[in-house]
Amino acid sequence: MVTDLVLLCAGAFFAGLVDAMVGGGGLVQVPLLFNVFPGTAPATLFGTNKAVSIVGTSLAARRYLGRVDMDWRVLWRAALAAFIASFAGAATVGLFPPQLLRPLVIVLLLAVLAYTLKKKDFGVVAGDDARSPRPVLALVLGAAIGFYDGFFGPGTGSFLIFLFVRCYAWNFLRASAAAKVVNVSTNLAALTWFVPSGAIMLKIAGLMALANLAGAWVGSHLAMKNGAVFVRRVFIVVVSLLVARLIWDSMVA
């Protein structure tokens, strides 16, 4: 049991570190929880993951708020729409298996990866329209990503960062900071679904949350210290790993 706890905490630390920069923490935490607790109900494992993630995500968002310029004209709308849509996504999971989305998600992530690699300066510097709030677009993006996160989830942070860079011409550092704010909203919405049903392993979540918190501090520090170019490189690596993971899951399913 001690070995399992050490493994879970190490994984939570790394998940918090990566997630604070470019999202993708669930790529580490969720498989780890399923491996350590193979007989536990999936809803409980997903609920535990969300309980851990919101701690690190909140810290990362708080650290970014003091150092990175945020456009709240965009963010409050995106976060609100994401909260409502994430809850709706979680509530509709029973209508059809979320795994049916996996092939589409793989295609979209490959498109994101290809676009980012092709555009060498994509997300490195902010564009001329970086101050345009486009409030309706913020609501649409928040709702779409929020529903996806509540219903399926893998790659939510990466999709958010890409869309903020692509649609608002922000650099990767600013987009990553903004994504953390929206992620807090979607995680909170998911917890309003999981907590009432008791689908959380509280003691495990508490220990992992401390490790995730430490990882989020390190990840946000690295991102702010090294800037948009560094975050872009990490983004490419994480999206590549996420695609590989989803393809592997499709092959063994």
pLDDT reported for residue 143: 95
Q: Which domain holds residue 96?
A: 2-252
What is each CA distance from 152 to 2, 13, 66, 98, in whole angstroms? Answer: 31, 23, 31, 6
Distance CA 4, CA 72 (A): 41
pLDDT range class, residue 16, cuts 50, 70, 90: very high
Rounded Cα gap, residues 160 and 65, in angstroms:
17
51: which 2 tokens?
């309980």
- What is the four-CA torsion angle of 98, 99, 104, 105, rounded to 10 degrees? 80
What residue has token string 């679904």?
A: 193
Structurally, how many domains does the chain consist of?
A: 1
**H or E stretch at 223:** helix 202-252
- Judged against a pLDDT cut of 80, whether residue 204 lies above it is answered with yes
pLDDT of the residue at 45:
86
Distance of CA 23 to the CA centre of its chain: 4
- Region 220-225: mean pLDDT is 94
Q: pTM to 2 decimals? A: 0.88
What confidence tens digit (pLDDT) does each residue in 227-248 have? 988 999 999 999 999 889 888 8
Q: Is the pLDDT of residue 78 over 90?
A: yes
pLDDT exceeds cutoff 60 at 128? no
pLDDT confidence of residue 139: 94
* Percent above pLDDT 70 for the chain: 95
Look at 88-97, 113-122, 177-186 and tell me which has the smallest mean pLDDT: 88-97
Q: Could you give the CA distance from residue 212 to residue 4 in angstroms, rounded to a whole number?
A: 16
Residue 54 tokens, joined: 């919101």
Query: DSSP letters along 175-188, please?
Result: HHHHHHHHHHHHHH
Q: Which of the pair, 154 or 32, is modelled with greater confidence?
A: 32
Q: Assess whether pLDDT exceeds 90 at residue 179.
A: yes
pLDDT at 93: 67
Question: Mean pLDDT across the stretch 70-86?
Answer: 93
